[in-house]
Amino acid sequence: MPPRAPLQRKIHGLDCVEEVSLLKRELVPLVGDESRLAFDLLRAKLTIDLDGTSLASEEIDSAIDRTGLRHEPWVEDSAEDETQSSWIQYRRGALTTISGVCGLAGWWLHYAHSRSLAGTDNLLDSPNEGVTPVIATVYLIGIFAGLILVLPKAWRSLTSFRPDMNLLMSVAVVGAIAIGEWFEAATVAFLFSLSLLLESWSIGRARRAISSLMEWTPPVARLVCSSGGVHEVSPKEVAVDSTLQVRPGDKIPLDGVVLTGASDVDQSPITGESVPVEKEEGDPVYAGTINGDGVLTMRTTKTSDDSTLARIIRMVSEAGSKRATAEQWVEKFAAIYTPIVFTLAILIVLIPPLLFQASWEEWIYRSLVLLVIACPCALVISTPVSVISALTSAARHGVLIKGGVFIELPASLDAIAFDKTGTLTYGEPAVSQIIVSSNGIAASSVDEDELLSIAAAIGSQSSHPLSLAIVNYARDRPLPPNTATEVTSISGKGSIAMVNGREIWMGSKRLMKDQNLDCRQTEELLDSPQARDKSVVLIGNSERVLGIILLTDPVRENARDVVALLRQSGIKTISMLTGDHDAAACNIAEQTGIDDVHSQLLPEDKVEVIGLMVEEYGNVAMVGDGVNDAPALAIATLGIAMGGSGSDAAIETADITLMSSDLRLLPWLRQHSINTLSIIRQNIVFALSIKFIFVLLTFVGYASLWAAIAADTGASLLVIFNALRLLRTAPVQQ
C-alpha cells in the first residue's frame, strides 16, 4: 500500500481541551491509536495520520460531525477568517457582560421587591418570595447568556454518558433554579462564562504569536541569476544552493553561508546576541536576521520551510497544542462526582421504600435535600473566584497572566531556565573598561579621557550599537572637545575619520589588521581573560593602537538576589540558556550565582535543553525576552516573558509576562501562586466538608431542604469572601 498523505481539517471552535476530548472520543476508536491525531490549537487545525489504514475521508468527517463541531478541509496558505474570529471573541465578551449585568439587575429587583413584602427582610429568609415573572425573566436572560455556549456541550456530555465540567455546571444552575436560588444560579452562570472568556482570550493571544513571528520573514529574496542579473522572488521559490544578494538593512530571507562581502548582522531575533555579529566569507547566516551596512552575497543551505525561523514558528505552534491536550483535574472530578450524586439520589428514593417499606414521601424529600446540598455551586464558584482575584492582583503588580491554569504553575516549579541577553542582563552594551598605554599597549600620546573623547566624536556619526553605547557613556563626562569629520564607514569593520586634523580609525580587530601595524601586544591583550568575554572597540592611527574600549552587557540590578530568593523558595535547579559564547555566559553566571550554564545555543538547542530539563526535574519555567526564546517559552511547563524589553513574539507566546522587566517579580509571582493554591484548597476542602456533613445528616433524617439551601448559600458566600483576600496581596519588596 503506497504511503498516504495526512488528512487535515480546520475545526471551528477548537479552543480548549474539551473540544480535543470530544474529537478523541470519536476518532481514536476509528483510527486505532491516539498518536495518529495531532491538534494545533493555535491554528484550530486537526491532522490525522491515515498511513497504513483503509479509512476514507468521509468516515473521518462523519466522526467529526458526531461531535457537533463545524469543520472544513485545511488550506495551508488560506487567509484566516478574521471576521469570524472577531465575532467569536466579541460574542463571548458580549454574552459574559449580559450575564453579569442581568444577574445584578435581577438581584437588585428581587431584593427591592422582597423588602416591600411584609415580614421579609432579605432574600435568605425566603428565596422564592418575591420572584415575579419580570424578575425571573431578567434572571433567566442572564443565566441563558452565561450558558448558551455551554449547554450544547453539556447535552453532548449527557447523551454520550460522559459527564464533564459543562454538565456539572449546567446541573448546578438548573438545580439552583429549581430550589429558587435565582441569584446563585445567575452568579454561577456568569463566573463560568467569564472563565471560558479568559481561556478563549488566552488562545487568541497565542494565535497572534504566530502572526508576530511571521513578520520576521522577509517578503522577497534577491536571486542572483547565472547571467549576473538580480531579480526579486518569493523566498518560497528559492531552491537550496541558490545565490542571493542581501543589501544593507535588509532581512536575510533564508539560511545560508556568506560567499562574498563583509557586514555586521543583527542576529538577536534568532540567537539573542546583544550586539551585531561580524560576518564574512564562510560564516553562516540565518533567515529573519538583519544585515548591517555591507552588501552580502550568500548561498542558501535550506528552503523557506526548513529555515531556522520556520522551525521557530513550527515549534511554537506544536508546543502550544501539546500543552493544551493535558487533562485537567476538574474534568476528572466532574466525571466522577456527577454520576455518583445522581446515583445516590436515585438509591435514596428507591431502596428504603422498596426494601424496608419506608415512606415514599419522606425519602423523596431526603433525595431532594441530597440533590440540593450536592449541587456543586460553592465548589464550582470557589476556583474561578480565587483565580480571578489572583489574576487581578497580579495585573495590579505588573504581572500579566494569560489564564487561570498559569496562576497555579509557579507554585509547583522544580526548575527555572533564564535566557541571558535581555533577561538576566539589560540587553544593551555598556562601556566596562578603557585601556590605554598604561595597560600594556604601545606608547600612546592620549590618556583615558582623550581616548574616550575621540571615540565619542567618531561614534556620534554612526548608528552601530557599540558606537551609541560609547557616546552615551561619554555624554555626562567632562571630556576634552574633539570633532570628527570626513567619517568613512568600512562595512563590517568600523570607521575612519579626521579628528583635529589627524586620521583616526575605530572599529574591530579586522580593521586593525588592515592598518599593517605591529599589534602583537594588543592581540595578546584581546586573547586574555580580561577581554575574552567583552565586545571590543579599538582606536588607533597610522602608527599605533591608541587604546581599547571594552563593552559588556551589564547584569540587571537585583539579579543575584532574585536567584538567591528563588533557591530559598524551593526551586531545585536554576539554569542559564544563551546563544553567546562560553566566556560571556560564564561571566554572567558568576555574577548572578547560577551554576548550570548552557551557551552557544540556537533556538532548537534551547528547546532540546528545556525538554531534557522537563524530563529530569518535572515542572520547568523558561524566562526570556526574544523571538529566539519563543519556542523554548512555548515548550516549557511555564513560559515567562520580560515585557518591558521583550519582543512581541516572546510576549505573545509566553504564559506570563512581567510588564516592567523587574526580576524581583519572579519570587513575588511564586509566592503569589502559592497563596492562590492555598486559598483554592481551603475553599475546596470547606465546600466539600459542608457537603459531606449534610449528606450524613440527610441519611439520618436531620437535614431539611431549607437548611441545605442555607448551608449551600452560606458556603458560596464564604468561599467568595475567602477568595477575595487575594486582592490584598503584598507588593513587591523593594
Q: What is the DSSP letter of 424?
A: I
Say whether 100 sits in a helix, a strand or coil. Answer: helix
Give residue 447's pLDDT band: very low, low, confident or very high (50, 70, 90).
Answer: confident
pLDDT of 711 reads 67
Centre a 10 Å sphere on the Cβ of residue 442 and count the other Cβ atoms it contains: 16
Nearest to 597 by CA among 575, 579, 580: 575
Nearest partner of 531 among 544, 522, 518, 540, judged by Cα = 522
d(CA 389, CA 728): 9
Domain 221-309 is found in CATH 3.40.50.800: no
- In terms of CATH, what superfamily is 430-552? Calcium-transporting ATPase, cytoplasmic domain N (3.40.1110.10)
Q: What is the pLDDT of residues 292-304, one digit of tens each?
A: 888 999 999 988 8
Where does the pLDDT of residue 592 fall: very low under 50, low under 70, confident under 90, or very high at 90 and above?
A: very high
Confidence band for 79, pLDDT divided at 50, 70 and 90: very low
Architecture of domain 399-426+555-659: 3-Layer(aba) Sandwich (3.40)
What is this structure's pTM? 0.61
| Average model confidence (pLDDT) across the chain | 78
Amino acid at the residue 246: V
Alpha-helical regions (H) of 43-132: 57-66, 82-116
Best CA proximity match to 506, nearest among 569, 438, 459, 573: 459
The CATH 3.30.70.100 portion of the chain extends over: 7-66
pLDDT range class, residue 78, cuts 50, 70, 90: very low
Q: What is the pLDDT of residue 521?
A: 79
Pick the closest to residue 609 from 591, 585, 636, 647 (CA basis): 636
Query: Which residues of the chain form CATH 2.70.150.10?
Result: 221-309
How many residues in total does the chain contain? 734
At 95 the three-state DSSP class reads helix
Nearest to 391, CA basis, from 638, 95, 657: 657
Q: What would the pLDDT profile of 81-113 be if each residue is shown by its tens digit?
A: 443 445 555 788 889 899 989 989 988 888 787
Range among 156-170, 235-249, 298-312 rated most confident:
235-249
Q: What pLDDT, in 10s, does the model give residues 346-370?
A: 888 788 888 888 888 777 767 766 7
Task: Please state the separation of Cα 220 from the chain's center in Å.
Answer: 30
Distance of CA 516 to the CA centre of its chain: 52
Calpha distance 464→468 (Å, rounded)? 6
CA 85 remoteness from chain centre: 20
Q: Which of 247-256, 368-377, 394-403, 599-608 has the lowest mean pLDDT?
A: 368-377
Using the predicted structure, report yes or no on whether residue 328 has a pLDDT greater than 70.
Answer: no
In tens, the pLDDT along 613-657 reads 999 999 999 998 877 788 888 889 999 988 765 566 666 777 888
Q: Please give the average per-residue pLDDT across 585-602, as a whole number.
A: 88
Q: Give the residue with greater pLDDT, 683 vs 438.
A: 683
Q: Which residues pair with 484 in a beta bridge?
A: 499
User: What pLDDT, in 10s, does the model give residues 11-49?
Assistant: 877 765 567 777 888 888 888 887 788 777 656 788 888
Q: How confident is the model at residue 563 (pLDDT cuts 50, 70, 90)?
A: very high
Strands 256-260 and 284-285: antiparallel
In this structure, the dihedral spanned by the alpha carbons of residues 232, 236, 238 and 239, taken in order and rounded to 10 degrees, is -170
Closest CA to 17 of 348, 364, 334: 334
Where do you find CATH 3.40.50.1000 in the chain?
399-426+555-659
Tell me the DSSP string of 651-687: HHH-SEEETT--TTHHHHHHHHHHHHHHHHHHHHHHH
Q: What are the tens digits of pLDDT across the range 189-204?
A: 887 777 667 656 655 6
Architecture of domain 7-66: 2-Layer Sandwich (3.30)
Long-range contacts of 701-705 (CB under 8 A, 24+ apart): 701/362, 701/366, 703/366, 703/369, 703/373, 704/369, 705/179, 705/365, 705/368, 705/369, 705/372
* Residue numbers annotated as active site: 419
How much is the average pLDDT of 511-537? 79
Is pLDDT above 70 for 602?
yes
Among the listed residues 198, 188, 110, the one whose alpha carbon sits nearest the alpha carbon of residue 720: 188
Give the confidence band of 587 by pLDDT, cuts at 50, 70, 90: confident
Percent of the chain surpassing pLDDT 90:
16
